[in-house]
Amino acid sequence: MSQADPIIRIKNLHRVYHLGGEDIHAVRDVSLDIHPGQMTAIVGRSGSGKTTLLNLIAGLDDPTEGEIWIEGQRLADLDPVARLALRRDRIGFVFQSFGLLPLLSAEENVGVPLRMRRLSRRDRQQAVKNALDWVGLNERAHHRPYELSGGEQQRVALARALAAHPHFILADEPTGQLDSQTGKKILALLRRFVSEQAITVVIVTHDPQVMEEADVVHELRDGHLIDTRLKNPAANGGTVNAR
């Protein structure tokens, strides 16, 4: 896959849920490309379909219609084992609620996904140390989540995502539980993921700070993609796929 090719391609995507005899159209005919080496924001009000879209990209849910390609591979062609391998080896996840295990230290939390990859203890310890150092938390490595501030907990979550060297990171409201100044610091780290680690970052958010920082902003409303804004249109060949 060349640098010009999208790392994620979404075409004519629909997701319909059947609840209580009613059809809920969470995602309606969305088509968009996400290119490598960029920070992309997917924005919209609560209920706009943005988190559903993120779950579809991650292979955690299946579309009713339409297709998703990840690095040129059609997601529908992957069986459950292959999807698990995709999430384990190529995708990093960051959540609004941090997603840390409360009884584990910061370094143990960062190391959890690496255990799934069956790394040697030495390689795992080195990867954890490097990731915590990169987010500036080595001195807090032995602290448990309840001993850390909200910003520190999110930095541990970022280190956990970074440690496995993912191709891209999916972040669901990563600044949602943080004050504005702490949120800026988290966004600065995510920006460094893009510029220094060459990791593509996709953020679902309603935070105006994220929209300002992102290279590309896709806006959803009632499941529809209604607008796409590019900071640098030349980076995407000047194309916009909003429908």
The pLDDT of residue 47:
86
More confident position, 41 or 5: 41
- The answer on 171 and 77 residing in a single domain is yes
The pLDDT of residue 112:
87
Q: Does residue 183 lie in a domain region?
A: no
DSSP designation for 147: G
- The answer on 108 and 215 residing in a single domain is no
Q: Examine the pLDDT at 99 and tell me if it is beyond 90.
A: no
Q: Examine the pLDDT at 68 and tell me if it is beyond 70.
A: yes
Residues 128, 105 contacting (CB under 8 angstroms):
no
Q: From residue 49, how far is each of 46, 80, 217 by CA, in Å?
A: 8, 24, 15
The pLDDT of residue 237:
46
Q: Does residue 186 lie in a domain region?
A: no
- The answer on 195 and 218 residing in a single domain is yes
Q: Does residue 70 lie in a domain region?
A: yes
Residue range 103-117, pLDDT digits in tens: 999 999 999 888 877
- The answer on 115 and 77 residing in a single domain is no
pLDDT averaged over every residue in the chain: 88
Rounded Cα distance between 3 and 196, Å, is 16
The pLDDT of residue 232:
64
Range of the domain at 211: 1-90+167-176+191-243
- pLDDT category, 233, cuts 50, 70, 90? low
Torsion of CA 217, 218, 221, 227, to 10 degrees: 90
Q: Which pTM value belongs to this model? A: 0.88
- Domain count across the chain: 2
Rounded Cα distance between 162 and 182, Å, is 19
- The answer on 196 and 83 residing in a single domain is yes
Average pLDDT value for residue range 145-152: 92
- The answer on 74 and 21 residing in a single domain is yes
The pLDDT of residue 38:
93
Q: Does residue 182 lie in a domain region?
A: no
- The answer on 76 and 2 residing in a single domain is yes
- The answer on 199 and 147 residing in a single domain is no
Q: Does residue 121 lie in a domain region?
A: yes
Output the six-digit token pair for 24.
Answer: 């809920």
Residue range 174-218, pLDDT digits in tens: 888 888 898 898 899 899 889 998 999 999 998 888 999 999 999
- pLDDT category, 98, cuts 50, 70, 90? confident
- pLDDT category, 236, cuts 50, 70, 90? low
CATH of the domain at 8: 3.40.50.300
More confident position, 5 or 234: 5
The pLDDT of residue 116:
79
The pLDDT of residue 242:
43
